[in-house]
Structure 1
């Protein structure tokens, strides 16, 4: 059985440790009475631990009929193996008091194998229940997407989007747990890519849907919206692929789809959906056809020639492997952005690699004709020369890609492109917009080219998956930025169209920043600087039904880090001051739920501002994240109160303004919840998360301030009573979290047990295993 998660692997460690101790104890005669008693106690502890373990497994089976039969059988096998181990650990005494073992080492080994196999099967079956809940959460999001896609008016949309947001938070939580728990680097990167698409798509889904509802006749607005839906479905297909380890539903019909995105990839037709999913599967999921991987394969075959002596069966493999390398270097040499100097060096190094390989093949033919059965000095020298040529080619390709990236980000001002497009669209100047759109398209093509070359030299599976996904997103959203610009140009007075363009531009800027970040990371790896490696701590659970990702150790920010986020904190402080000034006009705050909750949120935001100054009650980053969660929950409660109040407001400009602001609250709440729940490892990542949490809190505080102010204006203008009862929303949690992952064999096995050492003394089992 293949163990694919870290939690299952780590759950087995204490059991393996103790069983190994018992097996080793059978290898040598046991002379000490104390050691014999220790062996008996270990056998009893193992059996007791197994008994408690399988009782949990059987309770899971009772609640999940689809695994009941297999789970009961695995539990039965585990119980039998545990009992056998206890019996093997018992002792008999001879007539002269000489203790001897009940069974030999082979019996213990067989029992141990049986126990580990059956316990592992129990864990894997329990893990399928966790996966079922993850897939159920994904299916609920899919249903919500279908509902959102078919809404006919704003009222239906707001209601559907609120439900969608709740389900997305749960999916983000469960998929994040799974991402952290996966052992396979490639699968973890694929899950991370899917989750990032969903997170970035949420705001685009809101604005593009609103633009489409407000301007139903606008084709570019519809393409914006359809593209977002397509990307989100594509991301959920990828989650399904990772969870099922290689299966995407309903993909057979599209497995031969095109591998190039269509020009108007936003069109949400059946053909475009199938093409998108097929592309993901063929290029991103199964393998990465990069020059780095091609060179690695070629070098592996060359290394093998020390044993194969370049026999006839391997000569074609060597030639074919080098041809693949040369073919993939054409993305570098054919690029319009590659300098002549780099292009000539690459071509020369390819020729050199061919010459060295031909020399190696000639030596192999000579050895074959001579009937040699061992490598010669000439063969070893030729192998080294071929590998050196390959290494030099790889280094040149890395230099070319990284130089491309450096030059691009030195000369490019992304903000200028965005500003030109936006200004032309707002002015309604179609001619200028077309001119700037052409420039932006050339610029976007340049970024895509750099991303493609960076992908070719990425030297880890994680970076390869990330860069490939980034390349695809750049192709999709470059077009959609222009579509959003054209929508605004046709409706230059539309606030919704302007907001939609802002959001698509923000996503584009994030993608460009990702290209810069990933090129920097690859540069460090190519120079031999290994980035900080995340350390996974297995089975971290604050309690029953906890998550599979260990909570970060609370950290304090130093003065320099606090200074970097002080600006955001100050901006948030100004917002709280504005809202305090508005609510102070109402002295009867205790009897006014809206004012009461607004002040409550203001106080929370102020404490987060104090954190950025190193002051107040929030001392660690974990304190900040917890406060942000409460802040988001309070915003949800306030949203419901004001939504109820809005029904009293007469139709007109005031009500329209109130609803326009209010409709944005669920999205900002969701963005903050996404940010807070995003797992991070390492000080740099934690600081980035703090910065993002402060930013998202400020954004939410900003819209809450506008909502409350408008609400108070409406109450004064129309003399409305807006007292009401507060409501709370219970958290939508999965009905089942893997109880067997909560179970640990340490409870029974980590008691101190003395066992014999090689020196004849005693050792103590590590209670921390």
Structure 2
């Protein structure tokens, strides 16, 4: 990019939505300053306020460009252009501050030193240079994102082709590392709704892959188990391709044989198709990203054209547009009227309102023809009245469609017991009763169709982009996982005594339940939006911070947890405290053992978990949410090290029930570790989201601590039972410091309360800033 011609604001096309949103507040502030020049200001207080605004803008620009220059130092390919853009931004910021200064005339009256034109020129220069800095910085982030995506794809191919469990453990560990990296990088762009969806998808797939491979390795002849595995791999590749598609602004990745992998999933009830042809990949991408396919968007487009008729006077060029727009609306209402779950009353109302909209549009078109024949150049009263009537008919139709979709959802969640469907399938599979399983599978398929139908109608009436993208993806996942739940059920039915097949079914049922819960959540959010209670608020991104994972966030004011939040967190913390007590009691028996890395790391993890428990009570060394999240990261790393130690120790354990139990517990550790790592890396903004993250981090830590406790106990039992030597080599680098990062944190002064939701103060300014991972 170095040496590329510079662009000015008039010719610059902003294709990255996050950059466009970042500029919105800056444009608003600059507009305020420009408008302040239009009228003479006599108030001394107002003039002083303008001076402060100018100083604040210049200071913000200075901080902004210092970050841009640091990014340039780390990325030689953009260094020249970045330094030039930062120089222009700094000069424009200084000019704005100068133009906001106050000079006093000899008579004592305050006046500005420059006029509106000077402010406009400075503002244009600032916006142009800031946009250029953002675009250059964004290329760095996108390059990192694509690189991480490519590494995940390579790891995925390696993981898919492993031949035994030992190879799988190595490949899965590497894949997990690459996935966490991708999750972190894409998390910085989570306000782009597609990236938020992709992160959730990849997290969900990663959590089921571990159990899928164990099932396939344990039952290699089972066709339904292979279908489960192949489908998940296919969907992960789909997600990887979509990352590329979004990042590259619609460019389809080259589907070389190596990137496609060796597996193609069979088409199963229409849920997934072979992606062996590039055209198929293009089709689903374009369909997934097309947001003009919903009723809400079609009605909005129709209403916009109707509004324009005040200026176009329904000229000949616009008549076809109006007719086509209404036809698109009516076509999309067929998903409501054709649904088997739509009541007769709702269906009749929708059809009547469609006919009413057609009648009103025909009246509008007739008035337009009359104005055209009369040669009128201004709207008449009849035209205005017809426009209002058409818009009213459109609004009533939209309201009816919303009511229909929400009533569908209410009826589904009111009369359906999801747990009953799951229980019936599972019990029939465990009993090995193929006939009963087929009977319950048919009922579950009908139920799954109902859930998908509700999700599709909610997608139609979703009024925000994020809800539309979320519901679209949810509809797709429901189609995929409904079939996979049945496949997992048949696998267990074929192997009813298999513990791993039972866990495989449990995982898919858990995923299905989470999808149904997501449908209920979307339904509630759409209902709130329809009532006007939660207007959508834009989320703005900031310039990436220097370094590989850096982001900057808007500073958050420290706030304290209320009593209900404290109680919920404290309950989880107490459960974790009980686990640490059990771990301590078990390892205490081996306190005299020298150089025992397993006991040492188990105690270290216990102490880390205990410090997190203290955080829930407002005690201990962890003062802020950032402390908690960092501790959780080290906890996950320590769990990985302990996992490797015990895996090595397990080779000494003779075959039998004890070894089987040890390996069963041990095999679950990587999944829980990655689940905690995903949760810690998940970015959040605001108190509510931060509290949810704290809650989730402690919950995931408790889950990991629970399985570690079982692994360590079983390991120690094996060592005693078989008189095995499980001492590790002494490590000179060991430290019993429960928080490896505390030396760095000691440089900070914590001023917040023990239960505050805020990050730690920065070294430079000493002011409270938000958690950099949020």
Please list the CA deviations of residues 715-742 of structure 1 after superposition, one character each: whole Å capped at 9, or x if unmatched.
1122222222469999999999999999
Mean Cα displacement is larger for which, 619-628 or 575-584? 619-628
In structure 2, do the counterparts of structure 1 residues 697 and 520 end up closer, same or farther at CA, with 3 Å as the change threshold?
same
Stretches of structure 1 lacking an aligned partner (at least 5 in a row):
181-191
In structure 2, do the counterparts of structure 1 residues 424 and 390 end up closer, same or farther at CA, with 3 Å as the change threshold?
same
* SS across alignment from 1:40: helix
Please list the CA deviations of residues 51-84 of structure 1 after superposition, one character each: whole Å capped at 9, or x if unmatched.
9988986775575454456557657877998999
Residues 608, 631 of structure 2: 8 Å contact kept: yes
Residues 209, 225 of structure 1: 8 Å contact kept: yes
In structure 2, do the counterparts of structure 1 residues 535 and 193 end up closer, same or farther at CA, with 3 Å as the change threshold?
closer
* 2: CA distance, partners of 1:315 / 1:31: 53
* 2: CA distance, partners of 1:625 / 1:762: 20
In structure 2, do the counterparts of structure 1 residues 511 and 269 end up closer, same or farther at CA, with 3 Å as the change threshold?
closer
* SS across alignment from 2:561: coil
In structure 2, do the counterparts of structure 1 residues 257 and 25 end up closer, same or farther at CA, with 3 Å as the change threshold?
same
Residues 561, 755 of structure 2: 8 Å contact kept: no
In structure 2, do the counterparts of structure 1 residues 733 and 507 end up closer, same or farther at CA, with 3 Å as the change threshold?
farther
Q: CA deviation at 1:169?
A: 1.2
* SS across alignment from 1:353: helix
In structure 2, do the counterparts of structure 1 residues 10 and 275 end up closer, same or farther at CA, with 3 Å as the change threshold?
closer
Residues 49, 749 of structure 1: 8 Å contact kept: no
Q: CA deviation at 1:218?
A: 1.3
* 2: CA distance, partners of 1:260 / 1:150: 13
Q: CA deviation at 1:455?
A: 0.4
In structure 2, do the counterparts of structure 1 residues 665 and 675 end up closer, same or farther at CA, with 3 Å as the change threshold?
same
Q: CA deviation at 1:414?
A: 0.6
Q: CA deviation at 1:137?
A: 1.2
Please list the CA deviations of residues 595-632 of structure 1 after superposition, one character each: whole Å capped at 9, or x if unmatched.
23223323333444455567766566555434433322
Q: CA deviation at 1:681?
A: 3.3
* 2: CA distance, partners of 1:76 / 1:332: 57
Mean Cα displacement is larger for which, 683-692 or 540-549? 540-549
Mean Cα displacement is larger for which, 399-408 or 626-635? 626-635
Q: CA deviation at 1:248?
A: 3.3
Please state if 1:128 is matched with 2:132: no
Q: CA deviation at 1:561?
A: 3.0
Mean Cα displacement is larger for which, 200-209 or 1-10? 1-10
* 1: CA distance, partners of 2:569 / 2:759: 54
* 2: CA distance, partners of 1:651 / 1:469: 45
* 2: CA distance, partners of 1:534 / 1:737: 36
* 2: CA distance, partners of 1:649 / 1:755: 46
Please state if 1:97 is matched with 2:108: yes
* 2: CA distance, partners of 1:466 / 1:176: 16
* 2: CA distance, partners of 1:255 / 1:722: 42
* 2: CA distance, partners of 1:508 / 1:759: 48
Mean Cα displacement is larger for which, 690-699 or 324-333? 690-699
Residues 23, 109 of structure 1: 8 Å contact kept: yes
Q: CA deviation at 1:277?
A: 3.7
* 1: CA distance, partners of 2:761 / 2:646: 71
* 2: CA distance, partners of 1:284 / 1:741: 49
In structure 2, do the counterparts of structure 1 residues 421 and 47 end up closer, same or farther at CA, with 3 Å as the change threshold?
closer
In structure 2, do the counterparts of structure 1 residues 524 and 264 end up closer, same or farther at CA, with 3 Å as the change threshold?
same
Does 1 or 2 have the higher relative contact order (CA < 8 Å, sep 6+)?
A: 1
Residues 256, 278 of structure 1: 8 Å contact kept: no
* 1: CA distance, partners of 2:488 / 2:634: 35
Q: CA deviation at 1:120?
A: 3.7
Mean Cα displacement is larger for which, 249-258 or 74-83? 249-258
Q: CA deviation at 1:585?
A: 2.0
Residues 38, 753 of structure 1: 8 Å contact kept: no
* 1: CA distance, partners of 2:566 / 2:168: 40
Match of 2:771 among 744, 766, 769: 766
Please list the CA deviations of residues 255-302 of structure 1 after superposition, one character each: whole Å capped at 9, or x if unmatched.
999999984289998536857743541222133400111111111111
Match of 1:22 among 33, 36, 47: 33
Mean Cα displacement is larger for which, 739-748 or 576-585? 739-748
* 2: CA distance, partners of 1:549 / 1:118: 21
Please list the CA deviations of residues 462-510 of structure 1 after superposition, one character each: whole Å capped at 9, or x if unmatched.
1111100000000011001111111111111222111111111111000
* 2: CA distance, partners of 1:424 / 1:760: 64
* SS across alignment from 1:742: coil
In structure 2, do the counterparts of structure 1 residues 291 and 82 end up closer, same or farther at CA, with 3 Å as the change threshold?
closer
Q: CA deviation at 1:214?
A: 1.8
Residues 551, 772 of structure 2: 8 Å contact kept: no
Please list the CA deviations of residues 135-191 of structure 1 after superposition, one character each: whole Å capped at 9, or x if unmatched.
1111111111011001000000001111111111111111101224xxxxxxxxxxx
Correspondence for 2:181: 170
Correspondence for 2:6: none
Mean Cα displacement is larger for which, 62-71 or 503-512? 62-71
Mean Cα displacement is larger for which, 539-548 or 274-283? 539-548
In structure 2, do the counterparts of structure 1 residues 31 and 314 end up closer, same or farther at CA, with 3 Å as the change threshold?
closer
* SS across alignment from 1:223: helix
* 1: CA distance, partners of 2:765 / 2:491: 83
TM-score (norm 1): 0.81
Mean Cα displacement is larger for which, 63-72 or 215-224? 63-72
Residues 758, 769 of structure 2: 8 Å contact kept: yes
Q: CA deviation at 1:633?
A: 2.6
* SS across alignment from 1:178: coil
Match of 1:66 among 49, 57, 77: 77
Residues 220, 487 of structure 1: 8 Å contact kept: yes
Residues 430, 489 of structure 1: 8 Å contact kept: yes
In structure 2, do the counterparts of structure 1 residues 751 and 370 end up closer, same or farther at CA, with 3 Å as the change threshold?
farther
In structure 2, do the counterparts of structure 1 residues 103 and 376 end up closer, same or farther at CA, with 3 Å as the change threshold?
closer
* 2: CA distance, partners of 1:312 / 1:33: 57
Mean Cα displacement is larger for which, 750-759 or 457-466? 750-759
Q: CA deviation at 1:438?
A: 0.5
In structure 2, do the counterparts of structure 1 residues 206 and 237 end up closer, same or farther at CA, with 3 Å as the change threshold?
same
* SS across alignment from 1:746: coil
* SS across alignment from 1:100: strand
Residues 554, 621 of structure 1: 8 Å contact kept: no
In structure 2, do the counterparts of structure 1 residues 285 and 335 end up closer, same or farther at CA, with 3 Å as the change threshold?
same
RMSD of aligned residue pairs (Cα, Å): 7.8
Listed as ranges, the matches of 1:121-160 within 5 Å are 121-160=132-171
Mean Cα displacement is larger for which, 433-442 or 649-658? 649-658
Correspondence for 1:33: 44
Match of 1:575 among 563, 572, 579: 579
* SS across alignment from 1:754: coil
* 1: CA distance, partners of 2:628 / 2:131: 39
Please list the CA deviations of residues 649-674 of structure 1 after superposition, one character each: whole Å capped at 9, or x if unmatched.
34444333323322221110110111
Stretches of structure 2 lacking an aligned partner (at least 5 in a row):
1-11
Mean Cα displacement is larger for which, 30-39 or 105-114? 30-39
Mean Cα displacement is larger for which, 577-586 or 501-510? 577-586
TM-score (norm 2): 0.80
In structure 2, do the counterparts of structure 1 residues 315 and 100 end up closer, same or farther at CA, with 3 Å as the change threshold?
closer
Residues 425, 492 of structure 1: 8 Å contact kept: yes
* SS across alignment from 1:179: coil
* 2: CA distance, partners of 1:692 / 1:282: 34
In structure 2, do the counterparts of structure 1 residues 659 and 341 end up closer, same or farther at CA, with 3 Å as the change threshold?
same
Correspondence for 1:757: 762
* SS across alignment from 1:297: helix
